Amino acid sequence: MIVVLAELDFAPADAQQAAAALTQLAQDTRREPGCLEYAIALDLDEPGRLRLSELWSDRAALDAHFKTAHMADFRARVAPLRRLRTSARVVEATKISDLFAPAPNGGD
């Protein structure tokens, strides 16, 4: 399983346009084979910062994502915007469990 954690920093004046483009990308991406989760959020403390968290079945699914038409459309939509910084990290996870799963024997 592949986890992607990314931050995209845009000039605050461009943040709404970037968020709209990213919202469309998320809707299209969630339909891709191997995409298990694709979430976006506006950072409340950093104007212009958009955060992404993605969960993919494997690296091949993530690699295929970057070749899709909707990814190319996203790149074209944000190209004229002032992007200040991009940070993206990939984590290869071997096990994912529910943080708030009931404890064995009914304990909290």
For 30-85, the pLDDT digits (tens) are 999 999 999 999 999 999 999 999 999 999 999 999 999 999 999 999 999 999 99
pLDDT of residue 45: 94
All structural domains of the chain, each given as residue ranges with its CATH number in brackets, are 2-94 (3.30.70.100)
The answer to whether 33 touches 62, Cβ cutoff 8 Å, is no
Q: E strands along 13-95, which residues? A: 35-42, 49-56, 83-92
Minimal CA–CA distance to 19: which of 40, 1, 35? 40
> pTM value?
0.85
